[in-house]
Structure 1
């Protein structure tokens, strides 16, 4: 009998009753940890934040927001799960799921499909097709090691992806948020959340950030040259780079070399830089501010950083974490935190960016609170540079209509 004690599974199911039932079956099978998600978007958000693939995902297919087939596609592309079991009340849909797994190479193993309601003996039969120890080892090896990352950096496999930010009031594109991405020659595109945790505290984190910044600044200059002159860019700087004045001076030199206006660029620091009151980093941020750059804080969560700590740094922009933003229109406690964060920023004359916006009702709430900018799945996913111009042309009308809707999705 398989030993799943050291393995983690996730149930993705929009019905609370079915979700609890399936989670109970997995615990009965011996899984050491069982995570739950109410739909595909919730699952991806939790798996992405975890930073480590789970050994098994047990998912329904018919779910609002993102159905199971779309979730399977993302799980394959992002390597967020080692194996998969699909359950549905409709036999035809199970065939679609099996076909989706057969379409294209994937490291994720399909253990099988089952009609709902799922029974324990059926689940056991499906799990018998897997090797728990091999899946556990696969989950660990799916996370790149530091040596592999350092080699990829030397081979220039890292590149910036750009996530559009729109004006909440009018739907106009105002800027892009830069994401570090790894274009792996065999595994395809790997998101930053999969490899950055491995680099924390290493000697490679600053060179990687510098490489991404240099590529992004060159692209911003190219966009300005073709007429997108009002486009701004936010670039995240790790604490290791912010603490090194030589790196800061090099960044300024790169901006000068590309001829990009300082006001078009916002350098973002991790929230931890403010909470730890790191004197060198804050002094270097002040230096950048004096040179005319925007200064932002990334992933802000109310309660972790006080207004006094925010005031220590010459901030022009506060990016509120998706944990607060998502479904705030449906969660009164979350809405209160969101409103509190926006009001605190505005009292200090700091503009607010809401990240991770997924629902039209949340966008309407942000507008009512006076939030300036928004980004997230509702707007667009991060994209390569060559896709942005086409995206702008194809989405102008949609974005204007989106911000004009009061509270809908």
Structure 2
């Protein structure tokens, strides 16, 4: 296992992406960075986490954002009291196949939401001290925290999505409808969400919705295969027909404008205006290497802040504040670089962790990942991308409760 489990990466969708809540100013997964023009099918992937759990015994589910505020509880529906806090497996027996894990100390529980489903494991979403029951037989793919709840996708366990919307602290799910195309995104403040919804004439609209009320704020026509790339203070980035060459930017108060990406895939996060361009879906010219470019949108174009190239290919993610680029470059493993200085950090965990658009951040320097170690054990790790230190959140038998990964 070279990156903790490739199936986990394929099944989870959504990297934090993010249009301003108002037309002209700044407005919370997984724009996708893959090798090839493969669609993300985010809706299915968001709920495929449970199936992945069965395959690789993922012990924790995470949502990434830079120290997001806790879900407000004072004026929100009160969830049921937590009767039995979740006990994270902390097996201390040595693992002969993965000796690296043996020396990693145990740390505290996750600082992000996750879901627990399955026989004997309950059926709920946990976020700090809040435990909210899920509808019987259903999974919820967490997209991000919003006021009095969580944005995400609800569907039949191990099955199809039923709708996207807000799961309230009361356990009620308010649906915003079925999506078309690929992806949805929260605004940087979490007060609005953008999704692609089908229309009766067989086409689709990119719709902006208030998360608190479900009220439609604005919409524009698009094709049913549109992929929502992300939302930051510049606006909503999206790709018609999932084609990188058709990337556009919409700021609600004006018509969408084309964004030149050179045919590369743009990855957008809602917590920073820095973005990533990946060239892996392009065949490099002789003597060239695939590269990751950190870019910013200024005066109608994407300007390069820094780049990292490797003959082994590149995948990567930005920290929520945009100050650290973490890359996975084949056998070179996971490496960190300060942005824009392009100087290396101490992060280096080649054998256990990969970095990609779905990487889960607890804050500006800690990433969390989960996966199976062979067929007998599973582990959830937290690693510091600045000093390279790692710790185990949980480690133990794959017979632990099925816990589903969220996305941001």
Give the structure with the higher percent strand: 2
Q: Which has the higher contact order (CA 8 A, sep 6+)?
A: 2
Rg (Cα) greater in structure: 1
* TM-score normalised by structure 1 residue count: 0.27
* TM-score normalised by structure 2 residue count: 0.27
Give the structure with the higher percent helix: 1
